[in-house]
Amino acid sequence: MEPTAGIGGASGAIPIGISSIGVGSSPGSLSINAAQPHSGSSSSNTSPVTLVSRAEQRKAKAVSDAIDKALRLDRERLQKERGAKLLILGPSETGKTTVLKQLKLMYGRKGLDVERQTYRRVVHLNTMKAMQALSYGLQRANIPLEHAENIAHLETVMRLEGTLKRYSVTSIGLANPAISRKITDAKAETDMFLEMVPAIKALWADNGIQQTFRTVTNLNLQDTAKYFLESVDRVADLNYIPTDDDILQARVRTLAVSEHVFNIDGVTYRIFDVGGQRSLRKYWAPYFDDVNAIIFMVALSAYDQPCEEDERLNRLEECMALFNSIANHKLFEVTSFLLFLNKIDIFQRKLEAGSLVMRYFPDYRGPNDYPSTTMYFQYRFLQQCKDTAKQVYTHFTHATDTNQMRVIVIAVNTIVQRLNLQNSGLM
């Protein structure tokens, strides 16, 4: 609205009241100017003055604020309906699939029920492979068995190698013709596990195996080995049905790209999980387009372990190199990263058992405690980003802990939605 003409003589108009009324994102202004009246007759060409009271100003502002809020909510609703695409990347055995299991448990329509029976064979295979790895570790470290009668059990377990290699424990994802698959007989696996139960129980109770578990670090041993080895009687029951915790703890190797859709707080997420082995990383690229954010998984507990594909290379060093290549990829110049430094429970147990970080990372000179070492590794990963302004949100995670993951997922959802609104120019 144009300002009302001023009233008065040569001194000009004297403003009495001014109010601003915002409409949408382009606020207009209403200015009312008036002057002290003359004692004589007024000029014939002056305009009438309408004064805006404070009550009317407040009412106008309330209307404006309501319009602004309605427009903002409408934009946010459209952004939510558009959804978000996330990639979960990282080397193998960093917990990518476990995060997806947690999302299924919290936001899936049927939780983990669809795959519950399938995980029965996974649990059995995990338990056998855990004892097999410990048996090899005991022999390589020349640790004697406590009880001589367990030598026969050890030999029985050692003979499992050729048999277990024939069995495939892989997730079912999008078909990838470059990856061959093995189809196994679940009943045969269960029968084999039941035959092995006496040997597994006897060896796990032997101090030689316990010493191997506590002191030998370069084992190809899954992180959840203890969980299943302490539950042999329960998982060997003929009526055994895996619990949610069993499924979260079970190790499944991802050999294909799998897409999962979740609705989290009204937002539809399309989340892609990919195999982390080196040989599978060449299949990641087709899924890099239109990514809203990347969750990059790191297993902090792997700081004292060699790579499965190359034992000369430290797992965490290899993970840093991979993060470097992804974080600085030209397709992700404006993509934000959610860095999950995972398996903090196992990491802390290793520190408390006396495993020195500086032995594997000589440039570290701080105390071997949890706060100092976690800050060191966080800094090392953030160092990999050449663009110092790049947004990297760090979370220290324990992916098998549902309560902790629930809090983190809520935080991640808030971050992703804020990033979406910023990238769309809505914030």
Q: Which phi-psi region, left, alpha or beta, contains residue 93 (left: φ > 0; alpha: ψ -120 to 50)?
A: left
Looking at the fold, whether 108 and 123 belong to one and the same domain comes out as: no
| Residues 305, 268 within the same domain | yes
Active site residue 156: no
237 a catalytic residue: no
Which structural domain, as residue segments, surrounds residue 222? 117-241
Q: Characterize the bridge pairing of strands 392-396 and 267-273.
A: unpaired
Q: Which of 188, 212, 241 is the last residue of a domain?
A: 241
pLDDT score at 418: 78
Q: Considering the domain boundaries, does residue 25 fall inside one? A: yes
163 an active-site residue? no
Helix (H, G, I), strand (E, B) or coil at 401: coil
Residues 278 and 352 in one domain: yes
CATH number at residue 189: 1.10.400.10
| Residues contributing to the annotated binding site | 93-98, 248-254, 273-277, 342-345, 399
Does the residue 222 lie in any domain?
yes
Asked if 322 and 383 sit in the same domain, the reply is: yes
Q: Looking at residue 181, what is its pLDDT? A: 37
For 372-422, the DSSP string reads HHHHHHHHHHHTT-S-TT--EEEEE--TT-HHHHHHHHHHHHHHHHHHHHH
Q: What is the number of domains present in the chain?
A: 3
Give pLDDT, residue 114: 78
Last residue of a domain, one of 211, 241, 271: 241
pTM (whole model) above 0.85: no
pLDDT for residue 68: 65
Question: Token pair of 318, please?
Answer: 């290899």
Mark which of 241, 273, 305 sits at the end of a domain.
241
For residue 419, is it within any domain?
A: no
Tokens in use for 209? 């195996």
Shared-domain flag, residues 198 and 233: yes
Question: Is residue 3 assigned to a domain?
Answer: yes
Tell me: do 278 and 142 sit in the same domain.
no
Q: What is the chain's pLDDT, residue by residue, as a tens digit (427 residues)?
A: 444 444 333 333 333 333 333 333 333 333 334 444 444 444 445 444 455 677 777 887 887 777 766 665 555 554 445 578 888 888 888 988 899 889 888 887 777 887 888 888 889 989 999 999 999 999 999 999 999 999 999 998 888 765 555 554 444 333 333 333 343 455 677 788 888 999 999 999 999 999 999 888 777 788 889 999 999 999 999 899 999 999 999 987 766 677 888 888 888 888 887 765 555 555 565 556 677 888 999 999 999 988 877 888 899 999 999 999 889 988 888 888 999 999 999 999 899 988 899 999 999 999 999 999 999 999 999 999 998 888 899 999 999 898 999 898 888 888 887 776 665 554 4
Instruction: Please report, for the domain that includes residue 343, its CATH number.
Output: 3.40.50.300
What is the reported pLDDT for 84?
Answer: 84
Same domain, 338 and 397: yes
List residues forming the annotated binding site for GTP: 93-98, 248-254, 273-277, 342-345, 399
251 is an active site residue:
yes
98 part of the active site: yes
- pLDDT in the model for residue 374: 97
Q: What is the pLDDT of residue 66?
A: 78
pLDDT of residue 167: 52
Same domain? For 233 and 265 the reply is no
Q: Tell me, what's the pLDDT at 380?
A: 96
